[in-house]
Each structure stands twice: as C-alpha cells, then as structure tokens.
Amino acid sequence: MPESSSRPADPRIQTGQSPGAAHQDGSYKDVAQSTVSFGALRHRHFRAYFCFTMLSMMADNIEHVISYWVIFELFRWPELQGFAVISHWSPFLLLSWYVGLLSDRFDCRRVIQWAMVLYFVLTIAWAWFIITGTLTVWHACALLVVHGVAGVLWSPGSQLILHDMVGPEFLQSAVRLNATGRQLGILAGPAVGGWMMWQLGPAWGLVVNAMFYIPLTLWLFTVPYTGHGASTKTVKARRTTWARSLEALREARSNRVIVSMVCLVGLSSLIVGNAFQAQMPGFALRLGQGEAGYSVLLAANGAGAFASGVLLESRGFLQARARTAVVLAILWCTALGLFAFTPYFYAAVGLLFAAGFLNLAFLTMSQTLVQLISPAHLRGQLIGLFIMSGLGLRTFSGFTVGIMGGVVGIQWSLGLSCAVLLAVMLFLLVVTARARDDEAVA
C-alpha cells in the first residue's frame, strides 16, 4: 500500500455505521485488517503522531520523576506519595466515560491540545513554586490532580484520531505501535528526567520538560483528522449529557465482545493492575538483590512490553480476536503468579519480561476490538468506558495487592490476586467462546 497522508472515507462511516459493527454478535469478517509489518507506519501523518506522542509521554514521565522526588525531599510524607498514585488514576475512573462523550461531540484535536496545555501549565507551575520556595502540600495536591485530569483528556481523543488516521485496516497496527511508543516514552522518562534533574536542577529541568509538549500541540493544527471522519457534523449535533452516555452502555451491552473486553481490562486492573510494581523493592530483597536488582526487575517488565509491540508488529502476529485476548490475559496472570513465588532472580526477570510482553499484547488487542466494533456515533464514549475500566480501576488494585501485602505478605497477596483473576479469566473465556468472534479480522 503506498504511503498516504490521508485515507478515503469509508462508505460505512459516511452512513454513520461503524466499519466493525456489522455483526453485533461479535463477528466482523467485513473488516479487512492488514498483516503488513508495521503497516500503520506507511501513513506519513501516523509517523509524526507516533513520534510526538512518544515525546509527550516521555515528558509526562519526566514530570513524575522530578515532582515525586521534590515532594519526597520537601515533605517526607508517605501519605502524599500515596495520594500521588490515587490522584493519577482516580480521574480516569471518574471522568473517562464523560470525556469520551466530549470526544464524540467535539474535534478531538482540540481536546488533545487542551490536555497538552494543562500539562504545560502545571509543569511550569511546579517549576515556579520550586524556584520561589513556596510549594506547599496543598499546591502539590492540586497539581497532582490537574495532572490526572490532563491524562484523561488526552486518552479517548487520541484513540479516535488513530482510527480516523489509518482506518480499520491498520487500526490494530496503529494501536499497538502507539502503545509501544508510549512504553518507550515511559522507559526513557526516568533516565532523561534523572539526568535533567541532576544537571539542570528540578526547577529548570521542569521548564525544559514543558517544551516537550509543544510539538504535538502545534502539529495538531496542521492535520485534517478530527477523530470522526465524515460523521463529524452528525456527532456534533448530539448533546453532551449523562443520559446520552448511559445510552452508549445500553446500546453496547448486547454485544458480548465489547462487554467481555471491558470486563477483561477492568477486572485485570481491579484485581492485579500494576500495583505489584510498588512492591518490587520487597521482591528484590526477597530474591537476595539490592537496588540494582530492583531496577532490573522494573526494567524487565517495561522491556517486555516494548519487545511485544516490536515483535508482534514486525511479524503481523496475533490478529484481533476476543478469545485470543482472554488467553493472553490468562498467560499474563499465570506469569505474574509464578513470579510471586519463584526463588530464582533470573527466573523472576524472565517471568516479568513475559508478563510485560503479554500485558501489552492483550491490552492493545482488546482496545482494537472495542474500537472496531463500536458504532461510529458512540465510539468515543465506549473507548472512554474502556479506559475507565482499564485504567481507572487501577485505583483499587493498591488494596488487593498493596494493602493485603502488609497482611499476608507480598508473595501471597500477588499470588492470591492472580489466582482469583485466573478463575475470572477462565469464565470470560467461556463467555467469549459463545460469541461468534473466533475468526480473525480478515
């Protein structure tokens, strides 16, 4: 397929029908998905979007590195560190669905730009309070909350633009590559942030970091993608109300695939999530390692996710199927359960690498399925519901894995959480087997 800067409008989008919504029972054989290696990169605009998104995600994580260090040094208040985690994920829980509705109604470019503006302003605000020596606990709490809200604004619209940019044929490639770029930004953020903090100081490091949000903000003025294709005028006519948001749930609940994928990411986030990462120092000590071992364990999980995106894209493996997504989640859960009890450091590293690999694989596949099947006029809301389930429910995984770790030990808290999740995943596997989704998007 030749490189293109735009794609022809899909006739089904022009009529308001989702390309993947023809069979609401979960069958979507009418959607032609390419297996070309790195197919989405054939689109010139996607290449730019990939790079600018990765840069902004790196800036997001640089801010985490510097701001968390500053509040730790200034206040030495563990509860504030806990609030930082809650403030990051709770906006996804409370607002993702409604922001998805806003993304359905408004130009997604502008929604993302507002998110970038919030990131820029709060980063400069951190720097100002540090330079003037006026940062208080309440300032820190307010800035942490704004950061979480900016993350919510960014998420649904970014997925709608991907769909508009590459179309259903390359959607899985775009989702997977976008997640891989974000993972690379997450991996690079701590290293670059640490260097900037020690070389420039926290305040000036943050000032420089704020500049990294500008390229994506300006680039969005130059491209035609609103996130809605040819259905933009129809979408804008719809009122933004909570009742309209509930309509999306009513229309989606008859589709087993959408319901299964939302439950899949929600339950995995609620029961296990990424709370085990906060317990990584304890696992490193249990395995007879110190700070170096802790860093290796964290890096192994991130490296596995990055390798997943590169390998799956390079070979066109694992086309989008609901049942495959559930199987991948089961394998992820199994890898983490084995990691919880292994006494061998190198085995633990390998299991975390595998867990990172499987995590990105099933998350991107489930997200692709929701986007393909969702009706065009409800796509933003259903993506918002998916994000609320997949990210927002991480707010509570700190209880299942974190607080329980203090009661029964970190091994048993993670192991028991994985066992419960495994039982739930096996039930979901039965549910998805009943849906007519056992044919790949051809």
Torsion sign, CA atoms 331, 352, 395, 123: negative
Matching fold, domains 39-240 and 248-436: yes
Read off the DSSP letter of residue 30: T
Of 69, 77, 25, give the one whose Cα is nearest residue 260. 25
Q: Identify the pLDDT of residue 186.
A: 72
DSSP letters, 347-391, are: HHHHHHHHHHHHHHHHHHHHHHHHHHHS-GGGHHHHHHHHHIIII
pLDDT of residue 437: 43
Q: Which residue has the tokens 């993304």?
A: 103
Matching residue, tokens 């130009």: 107
Contact (Cβ atoms closer than 8 angstroms) between residue 441 and residue 19: no
Give pTM, 2 decimals: 0.72
Contacts of 114 (CB under 8 A, 6+ apart): 153
* Exposure class string for 216-253: b at 16+ Cβ within 10 A, else e: bbebbeebebbbbbbbbeebeeeeeeeebbebbbebbe
pLDDT tens per residue, range 24-38 = 333 344 444 555 667
Q: Token pair for residue 402?
A: 């974190």
3-class DSSP state of 333: helix
Tokens at 33, concatenated: 């998905």
**pLDDT tens digits, one per residue of 163-211:** 888 887 788 788 878 877 777 777 777 778 778 888 888 899 999 999 9
pLDDT at residue 232, rounded to an integer: 41
- In sequence order, what E strands does 376-436 have? none
- pLDDT for the residue numbered 196: 86
Write out residues in the chain with pLDDT < 70, as ranges: 1-37, 76-82, 85, 229-252, 254, 275, 277-281, 290-292, 294-295, 315-318, 397-407, 432-442
d(CA 25, CA 438): 11
Q: Please tell me the distance from the alpha carbon of residue 233 to that of residue 238, in angstroms, as a whole number.
A: 9
Q: In the CATH scheme, what is the code of domain 248-436?
A: 1.20.1250.20
Residue 23 pLDDT: 41
pLDDT of residue 13: 31
What is the number of other CB atoms lying within 10 angstroms of the CB of residue 358?
23
* CA–CA dist 316, 147 (Å, integer): 35
Predicted pLDDT at 216: 94
Six-digit token string for 122: 């709060």
Longest dimension (CA), the chain: 62
Does domain 39-240 correspond to CATH entry 3.30.1360.120? no
Q: Report the DSSP beta bridge partners of residue 4.
A: 43
For residue 387, give every residue at least 6 positions away whose Cβ sits within 8 Å of its Cβ, in sequence order, or none.
92, 96, 100, 152, 155, 156
pLDDT of residue 433: 66
Q: What is the predicted pLDDT for the residue at 246? A: 62
Q: What is the residue extent of each domain of the chain?
A: 39-240, 248-436
